Amino acid sequence: MGKLLKNRELLLVGAILVLIALIAWRFPPFIAPTNLARVYNDTSILIILALGQMAVILTRCIDLSMAANLALSGMVAAMLNAAFPGLPIPVVILSAMALGAILGMINGALVWKLDIPPIVVTLGTLTIYRGLIFLLTNGKWINAHQMSDAFKSFPRTDLAGIPVLSWLSLVMVVAIFLVMSRTSLGRAFFAVGGNPHAAVYTGIDVGRTRFFAYCLSGTLAGLSGYLWVSRYAVAYVDIAAGFELDIIAACVIGGISIAGGIGSVPGAVLGALFLGVIKNALPVINISPFAQMAISGMVIIIAVAVNARAERRKGRVILKKAEAV
Amino acid sequence: MAETHLSPRNIPDRLEGRGARLLKSWESLLLVVACVIFLGNSLASPYFLDPWNLSDATFNFTEKAMIAFAMALVIISGEIDLSVASIIALASTAMGYAVQLGFDTPALVVVGLSVGLLCGTVNGLLITGLGLPSIVVTIGTMSLFRGLSFIILGDQAFTGYPDSFSWFGQGYVWWVFSFEFTLFVILAVAYGVVLHKTNFGRAVYAIGNNQTAALFSGIRVGRVKFMLFLLTGLMAGLASICLTSRLGSTRPSIALGWELEVVTMVVLGGVSILGGSGTIPGVVLAALIMGMVTFGFGLLNVPGIVMSIFIGLLLISVIALPILWRRARRRLAH
């Protein structure tokens, strides 16, 4: 039982269930299966982004530029579609992902080759990427009527009763789970964050691993860029402004240690879902949507405090064992 | 190739003199850059050299620089505070609220400063009391503090500040010297003395270089860090008074994104983001450079977002260039 209580993912599942129960008590229709599916769909983009951020945080880095990357890739996807409406949607998606990957590589290369602290790199590229959108568009919007129907309808298309957007996020969750648990790159993410020096001695190139983590987060941000723009059918300079904090919040809530090396895919998904449930519940239980920012701030602080306690306790147990021997 | 590894380390016979060290320092490089930008600006626009124009230019950086001084100390001690812009927003909202209750100017100043101190206390308690990493805590409080302003204000704005309140952001102490610029100079001297001439300043460097060693040499690490976050909160409150007074209104989006500019200013000033080194004169020069660049761009009608690209590039390149330079020199030496 004690072990069960310490299991972070189960604890989070419990917290989310309690949260949903509380909302259902005030507003019963919230727990209708169709509504819960809608909440998941609404959280899909955050889930995809949190998976990328998780890889970066695992390696003791941070990517503050994800939302700006999303906005730039999304804008380019929208511009491609507006200029060449006949371009097949998979091509548009792949180019958004490719651009996202390149932007991620720039972050990764600066961290790897120049040894600049990740927070400085991504604070810098965050403003640069957003500024580039302005330079590309001169501040103009791309509105729904400039986008082709195929471009807008793809994430909404029903597949077996679930929209493509939800399917995509499910596929990404499974894919990243396999990368993390079944590939040497996934192990390397954990090793680099857990102990960079030990990682070097086991033959892992720390800088290169970080570079790949940024490539992954960039690619996922690029994908999310297309999804965001097509879902909301509008692209402008400030889309997803400040969303980088939600992404980090999802990771912190999901138990991913900002000090690196600790975290899991289910944790990141549950962290994102926790925020998604809150975001979707506020309007239906009559709390001003303006309160959302303060609530996510509170949740980040509480989550990081809980994480820190959990990590400290683990350290103590190891010491006790050493004494016993 | 193998021989280079075995060759003895190159140890100079004597250390460089004070003058030589000063000449090669980051601060003298900044001074040169500042002079070049000053010259460039005065050549690019005929209006630049007017004393009133120069006085206007200082408003671009004085408020940010006030926070940058305290932030420099925080970063030297190995921590970071990303919540400063949100503290400005919350303090400004509190002052706007106090105006609605009929507070007069001195009371508004007290409200602004105490909200800043309170926010700093929250950060300090979470970071030193609970031992949490400052980057996550201040990302959280950044969202919390601004979120509170959004709850109070929504899409509204507070206006109607008393006339006497506008002196802090718009008043002049003497001739072209504004209150804000005078405050900037006084704070620069005060922070310079605190960091470079007192035990407290030595403790800040010691903590940034090696926290454990600092603890074992009898420095109260937790208390010093707590004071630094308190100080940053206070400075953000002060900047909030100046900014609110200058704008004459409060929206929850006030000073959005300033944390980035403040951190850029500090890093540009030669403070290592990893902690342990940096000087106040460097930060002062960086503030002047950033202020003049944005003002010069403004005179040339460059939009704000393009300036932010420039600041982003500046932030990355000032850190990258010395690394590349050192690497190139090492390659030449071999």
- Are A49 and A63 a contacting pair, CB within 8 Å? no
pLDDT score at B171: 85
What confidence tens digit (pLDDT) does each residue in A277-307 have? 988 888 888 788 788 888 888 888 888 888 7
Q: Which long-range contacts (CB under 8 A, 24 or more apart) does B121-124 make?
A: B121/B229, B121/B230, B121/B233, B123/B81, B123/B83, B123/B229, B123/B232, B123/B233, B124/B225, B124/B226, B124/B227, B124/B228, B124/B229, B124/B230, B124/B233
**Within a domain: A31:** no
What confidence tens digit (pLDDT) does each residue in A119-171 have? 889 988 998 999 999 999 888 898 888 888 888 888 888 888 889 999 999 99
**Among A34-43, B12-21, B133-142, where is mean pLDDT lowest?**
B12-21
Q: For chain B, first and last CA: distance in Å?
A: 9
Q: Where are the domains of chain B?
A: 59-322
Q: Give the phi and the psi of residue A159 in degrees, each rounded to 5.
A: -125, 110
Spatial separation of the C-alpha atoms in residues B241 and B219, rounded to whole Å: 34
Give the residue from A65, A113, A123 with the most B CB atoms within 10 Å of its CB, the best one to mutate: A123
Mean pLDDT for all residues in chain B: 88
**Count of structural domains within chain A:** 1
Sequence-distant (6+) residues with CB within 8 A of B130 are A305, A308
- The alpha carbon of residue A89 is apart from the nearest alpha carbon of chain B, in Å, by 31
- Are A81 and A147 a contacting pair, CB within 8 Å? yes
**Within a domain: A320:** no
**Among A15-24, A190-199, B46-55, B74-83, where is mean pLDDT lowest?**
B46-55
pLDDT band at A312 (very low <50, low <70, confident <90, very high): low
Strands A158-159, B172-174: parallel, antiparallel or unpaired by DSSP?
Answer: unpaired
**Within a domain: A8:** no
Average pLDDT of the segment spanning A187-191? 94
At the top level of CATH, the class of B59-322 is mainly alpha
Strands A162-163, A158-159: parallel, antiparallel or unpaired by DSSP?
Answer: antiparallel
Residue B9: pLDDT above 70? no
- The alpha carbon of residue B259 is apart from the nearest alpha carbon of chain A, in Å, by 10
Average pLDDT of the segment spanning B3-18? 62
CATH number, domain containing residue A88:
1.10.3470
Spatial separation of the C-alpha atoms in residues A226 and A165, rounded to whole Å: 11
Q: Which range is most confident: A3-17, A205-219, B31-45, B257-271?
A: A205-219
**Within a domain: A244:** yes
**Within a domain: A300:** yes
pLDDT score at B41: 83
Which chain B positions have a beta carbon within 8 Å of A117's beta carbon? 273-274, 319
Average pLDDT of the segment spanning B189-200? 96
- By the 10 Å C-beta count (0-12 exposed, 13-18 middle, 19+ buried), A102 is classed as middle
Residue A319: pLDDT above 70? no
Could you give the ipTM of this predicted complex? 0.81
3-state secondary structure of B248: coil
Spatial separation of the C-alpha atoms in residues B243 and A292, rounded to whole Å: 26
**Among A50-54, A263-267, B152-156, where is mean pLDDT lowest?**
B152-156
**Within a domain: A233:** yes
pLDDT score at B238: 96
Question: What pTM was computed for the model?
Answer: 0.85
A134 to A106, A130, B46, B279: CA distances (angstroms) = 19, 7, 29, 35
Can you name the residues that pair with A303 across neighbouring β-strands? none
**Among A87-96, B2-11, B177-186, B301-310, where is mean pLDDT lowest?**
B2-11
Residue A187 belongs to domain spanning: 43-309
Which chain A positions have a beta carbon within 8 Å of B142's beta carbon? 245, 297
pLDDT score at B302: 83
**Within a domain: A129:** yes
Spatial separation of the C-alpha atoms in residues A208 and A111, rounded to whole Å: 9
Angle between helices B258-268 and B62-76 (to 10 degrees): 60
The distance from CA B259 to its chain's CA centroid, rounded to whole angstroms, is 8
**Within a domain: A33:** no
- The alpha carbon of residue A131 is apart from the nearest alpha carbon of chain B, in Å, by 5
In this complex, the residue of B80, B132, B145 whose CB is nearest that of residue A308 is: B132
B126 touches chain A (CB under 8 A): yes
Average pLDDT of the segment spanning B95-122? 95
Neighbouring C-beta atoms of residue A183, cutoff 10 Å:
11
- Are B151 and B143 a contacting pair, CB within 8 Å? no
